[in-house]
Structure 1
Amino acid sequence: MAILTVPKVLREKLGDEGVEALIALLNEAAHHERDNLLGILAERFERRVTEEGKRLEVQMAEVEKRLEVQMAEVEKRLDHRITEEVSRLEKQIIEVKVALSERYASLVRWMFIFWAGQIGVIVALFALLR
């Protein structure tokens, strides 16, 4: 707080008690003015904080909407990709099953040929030994 010096002329007119009363009055006025200024600044600060809070809420809502849209797009692409991969795998599984079936059929055919040959040899042996 600043120190007030009362001019000599005013001190002579008011006297010591008057000067002290004047200084007390000025100090009280300064104190009230400071309190009022602090109140005004506090209100401005609160208003500014509220405005910034609302602005941030709006921005957060916008970001949230954009994220939801992007997530939906990514989910759609991922779902499409998974569907493509599943169909590709199913196609490969079918191809493997067909190849296995062909091998099995070939194996069975050669087994019958071998068995027929064996039966022929056994019949020939029985015919010779008889």
Structure 2
Amino acid sequence: MSVITIPRVIRERLGDDASDAFATLINDIDIGARKDAIAIAEERFERRLVEEAGKLRLELRTEIGKVNERITLEIGKVNERITEEVGKLRVELLLEIEKLRSELSVKIENSSKENIKWMFLFWIGQIAAMVAIIKYFVIK
């Protein structure tokens, strides 16, 4: 705060009390003017701050929209790639299953042939044993 001095000529004309009152009045006017200037500056600052915050929000929304679009595109690409890979795996699995089926069929067929061979050998052995038993009891 600045100190106001009243020139001697004015002081002599007004007197000491009036000069002091005049200085107080000028100081009060100065303080009021400063308060008004600060209030106006605060209002301007707040208005500018609100405007800039609005611009920033708009920019942020725009950027978020762009990011969301990019994310959506990337998710679409990933989904396509997953679908493609799943299709490839499905084909590979079907081929592998068919291969295992054919191998299993061959093994079952070979196993059946082997079982039939041993069944015939068992039957021949049983017939030979029955013939031997019948000969033993009939010939005696």
Give yes or no for TM over 0.5. Answer: yes
Q: Determine the structure 1 residue equivalent to 2:119.
A: 119
Q: CA deviation at 1:86?
A: 1.4
Cα deviation digits, residues 66-99 of structure 1 (max 9, x gap): 0110111111011111111211221122122112
Contact 2:6 2:19 in 1 (8 A): yes
Structure 1 distance, partners of 2:12, 2:114, is: 144
Q: Are 1:28 and 2:31 matched, yes or no?
A: no
Q: Determine the structure 1 residue equivalent to 2:138.
A: none
Paired positions, count: 130
Q: Determine the structure 2 residue equivalent to 1:61.
A: 61
Q: Determine the structure 1 residue equivalent to 2:104.
A: 104
Cα deviation digits, residues 11-54 of structure 1 (max 9, x gap): 11111122012101211110111111011101111111111111
Calculate the TM-score normalised by the size of structure 1: 0.88
Q: CA deviation at 1:126?
A: 4.8
Structure 2 distance, partners of 1:6, 1:127, is: 151
Amino acid across the alignment from 2:50: T
Calculate the TM-score normalised by the size of structure 2: 0.83
Q: Determine the structure 2 residue equivalent to 1:44.
A: 44
Q: CA deviation at 1:127?
A: 5.8
Query: 1:77-96 residue pairs with structure 2 within 5 A?
Result: 77-96=77-96
Amino acid across the alignment from 1:34: R
Q: Determine the structure 1 residue equivalent to 2:6.
A: 6
Q: Where do 4+ consecutive residues of structure 1 move more than 4 Å? A: 126-129
Unpaired runs of 5+ in structure 1? none
Unpaired runs of 5+ in structure 2? 132-140
**What percent identity do the matched residue pairs reach?**
24
Between structure 1 and structure 2, the one with the greater Rg is 2
Q: CA deviation at 1:124?
A: 4.0
Q: Secondary structure of the residue that 2:15 maps to in structure 1?
A: helix
